[in-house]
Each structure stands twice: as structure tokens, then as C-alpha cells.
Structure 1
Amino acid sequence: MAVWSRLPSVGLVSRAPRSLSVFSSTPSPPAWTRVVSDAEKIVGYPTSFMSLRCLLSDELSNVAMHVRKLAGTKHPLLNTARGFVYDSKHSLQLRGLVVLLISKAAGPGSPATDTLLQDMVSGIYPSQRSLAEITELIHTAFLVHRGIVNLKEWTCSDGPLKDMQFGNKMAVLSGDFLLANACTGLAQLNNTKVVELISSAIGDLVQGVYHENHESTAEVKEENLSVASWEDQMFLSHGALLAKSCQAAMVLAGHDTQAQGLAYQYGKHLALGHKLNSDLQPFMRSTAEPALLHLDSAPVLFHRLTVGSQGWLQQVQQTQSTTKRTDYSKLWDLVKTGTGVQQAADLCSYHGSKAMEAISCFPASEARSALENLVGAVTKI
């Protein structure tokens, strides 16, 4: 489903597809694949198949059969399902991998009795592995839910209306199924603190998606235009689940509040750093399409803050023709040649250094090195 952003007074609209995952694009695929592959060896098994038994359950197998009816349409559920099967960068399971790595990096703590009786496998408690799977299920459920099409924006080229309506029903039902499985697994961990953390992360996701959808149809208010407000919103929709899952992994192992806080900070800054990296990638590629300019991306935000609200509106008006159609290539060039791209890159480096700072407090180990390599991979411009 397309994301729409409008600017006040000028009717500027930018259309762009939803990203499948926070970790769905990387600056150097070969290097990225190597980093992830090395990390998977450390935690004991490929996490790219972490949720496979749930995704291949009888219920979802039936859903998959119905999804075939969407072939030939532009319903986003089809692309989401295709991404689960054909994604070659292990991007869909990154959150679970980070949870497992940080669990191993922290080592054994003073866990509760039921956790203490569990045998660690590759330096990770079974409950922590369950948490990693739960994190992935929640993320997958939200990916599916976000694929619901706004039928008010439906056009004939998207596909038959009845197929789009059917796809929406499948997105709701399959997303609910995954979320229900995650909640069941969460309850089985039998830890109220962990339940509280992950439940609040789900709430953060809902709030973050609501704000994204609200701002995609409402006028962007200049008083809300700031780096702090941008980071707050991006944390809700892109960072809260990872940060709180990392903290929950420390809780399950019985680590103190300091270790919990460091794990939380690592997850938070890693997610924000990668979001900034993803926003910057189009400006780094010569083949990027200006028509897909995200008006809420970090480089555009910094550019708008630099030139001021009036300067930005003047630039937008200068790129418009007599029919009020915007020449996005000109607007793209204005942003790319300004200081916004470099400012976004600096902020990306800042979050990368903060993630490195947090993980450096853990004992030196292969797992810690892998977490450091992940920071380098997701924040490299």
C-alpha cells in the first residue's frame, strides 16, 4: 500500500511503497550477508527459519492457498508473502538474531528457578530463544497488518475490487493469527516483567503506525517538525520492539537493571541508526527515482529545518508547473545538494556510536564482536 505525504498550502504529494522491514535494505549485500551468516553460526542455527514452524502451520498454509487468488493484483499482502519466501538477505529475522546475540553476549545471570533449571544451548537459555521467535512473530504480524489497502484509494489498475477486499480480510486474519501465537508464547515464558515489556512494545508499534497513517493524510504541522519529534515517532514504529526485546532477554537471564538498560540502548540506537541509513540510501544511489521521494525521510527533514518553513515552501512552489504538478527531480536535486543529507549521515553515525558504546560494556566475546559488526553493517553509509 502506498504511503502518502502532503505539505500544507501547496498540495505536494509523494507516493512510495512501504518498506517490508526495518532491516530490508543494506548498503553492501555481500558484506551484509557475511556479517549475518557469521552471527548465525555464533548463536547456533540459522535464524532465517526461526518462525518457519508457525508460518507453515495448517492454518497459515490454508491462508497461503487463498493468497494465490491475489495473483495479478497489486495487493501488498502478495508482496509481503513473497518476501517471506524469496528474501535473500536474512533481513526478516534480524530482530531475533540480535536478541539471541545479546543474550549470549551478556552470558548467564541470576535467573529465576524455572529458568535456572533450563540447559543453555550455545550460551543461550531456551526461554531467550523463545523470546527471539516471539519478537519475529510480532514483527511479521504487523507487516501483514500494514498491508491492508485503503479502498478509498483503490483504482482499477490495482486489481478487481472484490480481490482487494478479500486480500484485506486475509491480511487481518493472518496477522491476528500470528499475533495470537506470539501472545500465547509470551504467556508461556511465565515472567510478568517480560510480558509487560513486550506488551508495551506492541502498544508502541500501534501508536507509531497510527501516527504514520495520520500524518500521511493530514497536513504536516510545522510545530511538530523537529529532529526530536522525528526520532520519537521512528522509535515507536521501528525501534521499540527491538529495544524492549533486548531488555527482556536480560530480564529472563536475571541480569541487573544496568545490563537491562545497556541492552535496551543498544537495540534502540541500532534501530534508529538503520532507519537513518535506509532513508539515506536513495540519495547514495545514482539510479534512485526522484518520484519516490519520501517527504518524511530524515534528509528531507534536515533540509526543511535548514531552509526554514518559508524557504521550503518557496522551493516547492518553484518546482511546480502552471498545473501545480511538482517536478520531483528538481525537488530531489535541491535536497541532495543541500546540507540535509550530510546532517542525516552525521545523526546515523551518532546512533551507531551510541550502540557501540552500549555493547562495549559487555564482556569481550564472539557474540559482542558480532553485535559490533551488525552496527557497522547497518550504519555504514
Structure 2
Amino acid sequence: MPYALMRHLRRTALITQQLRVESTMTNLTREDFLFRPPLAHWTKIIKEAEKIVGYPTSFMNLRWLLSDEFANLAMHLRKVVDSNHPIIKTAKTVLFNEQNNLQPWGLVILLLSKAFEPSNSTLLDDQVTQNQRILAELTEMIRTGHYVHRGLLNISIEERNQSTDTSIFANRIAVLIGDYLLVTANGMLAKLKNQDLSYLISTALRDISEGEFFGERDAQNMPLPGKPLFVSVDEFEISSDTLPLDVRNTLGSPIREWTLRTMYNGGSLFGRGCQGALLLSGQTLEEQERAYLFGSHLCLAWQAASELQKITSEKKESYSLVSAPVLFALNDNPDLYSEIEEAKHNSANFDFNKFRMDVLKTNAIERTKLLYINNANKANGYIDMLSDSSVMNTVKGLIKTL
């Protein structure tokens, strides 16, 4: 084994060992780091899908984990491993994939690519396959970099003292790690030398950025739900065009607000990744658009399933104040919004356990289940329009998360 690789492996092993140390997690309830598909036989389906694409996507990020730049940043991360900074929870989730937290975005993109793979492989076809694999990797990297950036603590100048030095240092490391991932992903995208693909991914990056400025936030920059509105139309139409997402009449309208937030937080990126896979394989614009709609609705379905699990879990898992069950509960009982207003200064002081019980007393759970079913059915519908191959049957297995 080459010396350089051995050195990287030793570094990675040391870092992961340090991160296994049990640390007190922050009591701030942040938006879901990554969506969790709650499926009993999830691991089995993932392994079957990986056999189809011939690529162990569970190690998709190994390339950048073993780079010199990331290893140096990770060594600095060890200095704050005993703190309660959100970057530690983020790092553990990425490295250990705890409880199947990671949505298999890259795997789905590769499955779509496989479904449209030509029967007779040529040198040109092999290059297309390699480019699709790079697309899957860079999509995962952009997603991870985005969530690392969001794992920051806002510390005002007045509050800064020796007790906050560790958190400030951790903030700097989070910014650097997120920057490294995003810059590396953009470099990979540029090397593909495909202007149309670069344009698609850039629109997703625009959506991610705009999402950070949507709606009210508390002192820790955590999103807060809009004030409940009683509207006759509560649907958000997802379009494959590359215009900015429509923010009109969304805040306070549960389905519209939730859908827009989810599209901002990753739905758009995943959709463009699926669309890009078909673009690289030379499929028609109509098929590319269907792939985008499939990816978007699949992301929405997984998000609804994840939020439903979190709010009903006996383990009292953390949940977001802009999750679908919360938005539905506020719509069903607007009086609950007074408690949200009290959390505007800092949601760390918010009684999440009490509010969870209030949410469970409303129709929020039933409406969230319908939200999941609706988006899962739409994702299945677009898959049927794309292809009826055995590969797509595997994709359908990944959709069934409840």
C-alpha cells in the first residue's frame, strides 16, 4: 500500500476514533441535517441497488475524506470534539451514517443513469458513465457542504469571552470545511465541461442561497414558521423551469411554506442532479424534466416521512419548528403561534416537549401522512413515465419509506 494512502487512512482512523467520544449535544433544535428514510429493510435495499450500479456509494465521500486539505481541517476539528458545537453532530452523522441518516442521493442518480445505459458499451459510453458518477459525487458534496455551513452558532460581540472561544474556533472550522467541499464540488463540475449541466447545478445553488433568507429566524438563525393564514388554495406547483422559486403567498400556508422550504433545503439540488444524469446520457428535454420532478417529489416524500417519525418517536427526537407537523398544527390551532413568537429571541429556551404534545393533539399527523403519500405517489408516477425497467423497480423500493 502506498505510503501516502497509509498516512491518510491513519489520520482518518484517528479522527473517527476521537469523534466517537460521547459529547453533550447542543439543545438547539436545528433543521434536519439530512433526511432519514425510516425503512425496516433499508440496508438490504441499498445493497441491492449498489449491486445494480456496481459502485459502493456508501464510500462515495471517501475521495475527499482522504485528501490532504480535508485531513488538515479534520485534525483541527479534534480540538473541539468535547464541545457541544453543532459541527460535531454534523461530522458524526457524515462519518458514521448513524441510523441510516443519509438519503442515498448519489445512489438514486446512479440508478437513473443505469436505467438509460446503452446496451453496447463503447469508450464514449464509459466516459458518460464516469461523468454521471462524478455528478453523483459532487451533488452529495454540495449537500454536505451546505449543511456544514449551517452548523454555526451565532455569538454576539457582547457575549464573547473566554468561555466562547471554543465555539468561535469551531465556527471557523465549520466555515472552512464547508468552503472546501463546495469549492471541490464546483471544481469537479467545471472539469465535466458541460455548460448545460453547470447551468442546472448553478440554479440549485441559487435556490440553496435564497433559502437562507426566507422567513423569520431566531437569534441563532434558526427558521421560524410564518403566522398561520386561512387560504383556500394550499398547493405549491413544482416546475422544472430554471426560474427562481415562487415565494408568493407561502408563509402561513402549511403545504406551500413547507414545500418551498424543502425545495430550498435540498429538493431543488436533488432534482437537478437527477435531471443532470439524464442530460449526460443524451435523453430528451421532456425526460430530463420528468427526472427533475421525480427527484423533487422523492425528496419531499422522504422529508415528510422523516419529520413524521421525529415528531411521533418515543425517543423524543429533536424536530424543526418549520417541519410539516408543526405547520399543520399551527394551521389547525392558530393559538399555538403565541408560543412560537416567544421563541423568536432564541429557540433554545423553547419547550419542545410540551409543544410536541400540543402538536399531537391536532390533525397534524394525519395531514403529514397524506403529504408523504401524495409526494411518494407523484415520484412513482414520474418513474413509470421514465422507464419500466428492473432498475426502476429498485428505485420504487427506495421510495417506500413508511
The normalised TM-score by structure 1 is 0.81
Q: Secondary structure at the match of 2:304?
A: helix
Give the direction of change, closer, same or farther, for the CA distance of 1:154–1:238 in structure 2 (3 Å limit): farther
Residue 89 of structure 1 and its aligned partner are, at CA, apart by: 5.2
Residue 372 of structure 1 and its aligned partner are, at CA, apart by: 0.3
1:147 aligned partner = 151
Are positions 1:26 and 2:37 aligned together? yes
Q: Is the 8 A contact 2:228 2:331 kept in 1?
A: no
C-alpha distance after superposition, 1:336-374 (max 9, x if no partner) = 132121011101100000000000123322320111001
Are positions 1:210 and 2:251 aligned together? no
Q: Secondary structure at the match of 1:211?
A: coil
Are positions 1:357 and 2:360 aligned together? no
Q: How far apart, CA to CA, are the structure 1 residues paired with 2:299 and 2:108? A: 11
Letter of the aligned partner of 1:138 in structure 2?
A: I
Residue 18 of structure 1 and its aligned partner are, at CA, apart by: 4.2
Give the direction of change, closer, same or farther, for the CA distance of 1:362–1:218 in structure 2 (3 Å limit): closer
Q: Secondary structure at the match of 2:133?
A: helix
Give the direction of change, closer, same or farther, for the CA distance of 1:296–1:374 in structure 2 (3 Å limit): same
Are positions 1:296 and 2:322 aligned together? yes
| Equivalences for residues 156-167 of structure 1 within 5 A | 160-167=163-170
| Equivalences for residues 105-254 of structure 1 within 5 A | 105-108=115-118, 117-120=123-126, 125-152=129-156, 160-211=163-214, 214=217, 216=222, 220-223=226-229, 224-226=251-253, 227-254=255-282
Are positions 1:268 and 2:272 aligned together? no
Letter of the aligned partner of 1:79 in structure 2?
A: K
Give the direction of change, closer, same or farther, for the CA distance of 1:254–1:314 in structure 2 (3 Å limit): closer
Q: Is the 8 A contact 1:299 1:335 kept in 2?
A: yes
Residue 79 of structure 1 and its aligned partner are, at CA, apart by: 2.1
Letter of the aligned partner of 1:373 in structure 2?
A: G
Q: How far apart, CA to CA, are the structure 2 residues paired with 1:139 and 1:39? A: 21
Are positions 1:337 and 2:361 aligned together? yes
State the aligned residue count: 344
More divergent stretch after superposition (250-259 vs 275-284): 275-284
C-alpha distance after superposition, 1:79-121 (max 9, x if no partner) = 2222222215554461111110111123349xxxxx9852439
Q: How far apart, CA to CA, are the structure 1 residues paired with 2:140 and 2:158? A: 30
Q: How far apart, CA to CA, are the structure 2 residues paired with 1:120 and 1:282? A: 42
* Identity across the alignment (%): 34
Q: How far apart, CA to CA, are the structure 2 residues paired with 1:252 and 1:87? A: 29
C-alpha distance after superposition, 1:53-90 (max 9, x if no partner) = 11210011111111111021112222222222221555
Residue 376 of structure 1 and its aligned partner are, at CA, apart by: 0.5
Q: How far apart, CA to CA, are the structure 2 residues paired with 1:56 and 1:18? A: 28
Aligned to 2:96, which of 69, 86, 97? 86
Q: Which runs of 5+ in 2 are unaligned?
A: 1-25, 230-250, 342-348
> RMSD of the TM alignment (CA)?
3.1
Q: Is the 8 A contact 2:298 2:375 kept in 1?
A: yes
Q: How far apart, CA to CA, are the structure 1 residues paired with 2:309 and 2:50? A: 26
2:344 aligned partner = none
Q: Secondary structure at the match of 1:195?
A: helix
Letter of the aligned partner of 2:131 in structure 1?
A: S
Q: How far apart, CA to CA, are the structure 2 residues paired with 1:40 and 1:174? A: 28
Letter of the aligned partner of 2:73 in structure 1?
A: V
Q: Is the 8 A contact 2:143 2:266 kept in 1?
A: no
Letter of the aligned partner of 1:120 in structure 2?
A: D
Q: Which runs of 5+ in 1 are unaligned?
A: 5-13, 110-114, 318-324
Q: How far apart, CA to CA, are the structure 1 residues paired with 2:357 and 2:277? A: 44
Give the direction of change, closer, same or farther, for the CA distance of 1:20–1:84 in structure 2 (3 Å limit): same
Residue 219 of structure 1 and its aligned partner are, at CA, apart by: 7.9
2:283 aligned partner = 255
Q: How far apart, CA to CA, are the structure 2 residues paired with 1:139 and 1:176? A: 12
1:11 aligned partner = none
Q: Is the 8 A contact 2:32 2:320 kept in 1?
A: no
Are positions 1:41 and 2:45 aligned together? no
1:68 aligned partner = 78
Residue 38 of structure 1 and its aligned partner are, at CA, apart by: 1.1
Q: How far apart, CA to CA, are the structure 2 residues paired with 1:371 and 1:96? A: 12
Q: Secondary structure at the match of 2:213?
A: helix
Q: How far apart, CA to CA, are the structure 2 residues paired with 1:169 and 1:146? A: 12
Give the direction of change, closer, same or farther, for the CA distance of 1:337–1:219 in structure 2 (3 Å limit): closer
1:10 aligned partner = none
Q: Is the 8 A contact 1:138 1:179 kept in 2?
A: yes
Letter of the aligned partner of 1:27 in structure 2?
A: P
1:322 aligned partner = none
1:321 aligned partner = none
C-alpha distance after superposition, 1:209-239 (max 9, x if no partner) = 3326747477834452112132112111130
Letter of the aligned partner of 1:285 in structure 2?
A: S
The normalised TM-score by structure 2 is 0.77
